[in-house]
Amino acid sequence: MGKLVVNQDKIPSIDELIKICPFGAMENNGGKVEINSGCKMCKLCVKKGPVGAVEFIEEEIIEIDKSLWNGIAVYVDHVEGEIHPVTLELIGKAKELASKINHPVYCIFMGENIKDKGEELLHYGVNEVFIYDDAELKDFRIEPYTAVFEDFINKVKPTAILVGATTIGRSLAPRVAARFRTGLTADCTILDIKENTDLVQIRPAFGGNIMAQIVTPNNRPQLATVRYKVMSAPKRNAEASGKISICEISKDKLASNINVLNVIPKEKETGISDAEVIVAVGRALKSEKDLSMIKELAELLNGEVAVTRPLIESGWADAKRQVGLSGRTVRPKLIIACGISGAVQFTAGMNNSDYIFAINIDEKAPIFKVAHYGVVGDIYEIIPQLIEQIKLSREA
């Protein structure tokens, strides 16, 4: 990175210099040239302006000592000690990354009365679980949770931290990243690590049209959030390994301007995130009433109905049933894609399914590139036949 420096005494004509900028990023402020936020760093003012009037100065990059940072840490997302499954998925990925650089795997677990719950994590190959157990951490409040995270990082110095992209994770990770002036990549779909411990964070960008590869080589720790169902959880070992470390933090650091008066449990919903069978439909559906045949197929298979974004925008389904980059990530045993073209925005949310069965009238549709099985045909002809065959097989 660098910056532009304006040498006022070397500008013969302010108006002529300002005209050079095609973005209108230079202003005359009381006889002085100032550069505003419209600057694109094209450097035309340096190249075409009066000699020495505007200079581009490279900022000195202070390289950090990466050897001081050791370990891959996972934030334990939970509700009253009940660990969210995304935590186990991140432990699996952390173990994979750590094995490449010979680093340990840590977990940071904060809450109240959670010491016994931390033992469960040792069955998944974690080297050490750092537990912060305090009454002030019973309910999630951003100030004390950030303070605990800061204390953990300062003590342990993990080179990378993985956080689940849950409601709490999406709130906590940016605050921690800002406190340590480090980078944070949200909703990563692929994670890898270099020999020098630089975390390679890959995620869709520009509406899913490209896969951006992001690294933060001069900042530690490195933070990334990952959605539920993107990574694979490791198998639970019968025997526990690793150790539990109980951590203390001063009470004054747990002070908060938020007081939790009451917590009302949310009713559990049956959604697509945990469904083992999903029947998904796209813009091939001609009318809202035609969703009935999709629902019938899903019910026969004990599955859930999912949709793509066009159907959400049409108001035909709840947004919680959308699969894709702007919806939910799913990983069912079987997904049937009915009349879905297979744009990357959709496939990025379901391509880790065990079996993908696609029905599309266009034999060149991208969905067939990710599908394990496919039928070229009209969903209005295929699905009724499929429903009929399932009913006949059950009667037999």
Closest CA to 177 of 201, 200, 150, 157: 150
What is the arithmetic mean of pLDDT over 303-330?
A: 92
Please say whether the beta carbons of 112 and 230 come within 8 A.
Answer: no
The reply to whether 318 sits in an annotated binding site is: no
Tell me whether the CATH fold assigned to 72-253 matches the one assigned to 277-395.
yes
CB atoms within 10 A of CB 58: 8
The reply to whether 324 sits in an annotated binding site is: yes
The reply to whether 74 sits in an annotated binding site is: no
pLDDT tens track for 203-230: 988 766 788 999 999 999 999 999 999 9
**Sequence-ordered list of residues with C-beta below 8 angstroms from that of 232, at least 6 positions apart, any chain:** 89, 92, 93
- Average pLDDT of the chain to the nearest whole number: 93
* pLDDT category of residue 394 using cuts at 50, 70 and 90: confident
Q: Does 80 have pLDDT greater than 90?
A: no
Backbone angles phi, psi at 330, to 5 degrees: -125, 160
Q: Where are the domains of the chain?
A: 2-58, 72-253, 277-395
The reply to whether 277 sits in an annotated binding site is: no
**Sequence-ordered list of residues with C-beta below 8 angstroms from that of 146, at least 6 positions apart, any chain:** 172, 175, 176, 179
Q: Please give the structure tokens belonging to residue 40.
A: 């694109």
Q: What ranges make up the beta strands (E) of 128-246?
A: 128-133, 160-164, 184-188, 190-193, 199-205, 210-214, 222-226, 243-246
The reply to whether 325 sits in an annotated binding site is: yes
- Say which range, 61-65, 296-300, 348-352, has the weakest mean pLDDT: 61-65
pLDDT tens track for 150-192: 999 999 999 999 999 999 999 999 999 999 999 999 999 999 9
Give the predicted TM-score (pTM) of the model: 0.81
Give domain 72-253's CATH architecture. Answer: 3-Layer(aba) Sandwich (3.40)
CATH number (3.40.720.10, 3.90.1010.10, 3.40.190.10, 3.40.50.1220) of 277-395 reads: 3.40.50.1220
Taking each continuous run of H as one helix and of E as one strand, the counts in the chain are 11, 21
The sign of the CA dihedral 265, 267, 270, 272 is: negative
* pLDDT category of residue 1 using cuts at 50, 70 and 90: low
The reply to whether 326 sits in an annotated binding site is: yes
**Dist. CA 257–CA 50, nearest whole Å:** 54
The reply to whether 360 sits in an annotated binding site is: yes
3-class state of residue 329 by DSSP: coil
The reply to whether 142 sits in an annotated binding site is: no
Q: Does 66 have pLDDT greater than 70?
A: yes
The reply to whether 378 sits in an annotated binding site is: yes
CATH number (3.30.70.20, 3.40.50.1100, 3.40.50.1820, 2.40.37.20) of 2-58 reads: 3.30.70.20
What is the arithmetic mean of pLDDT over 341-365?
A: 92
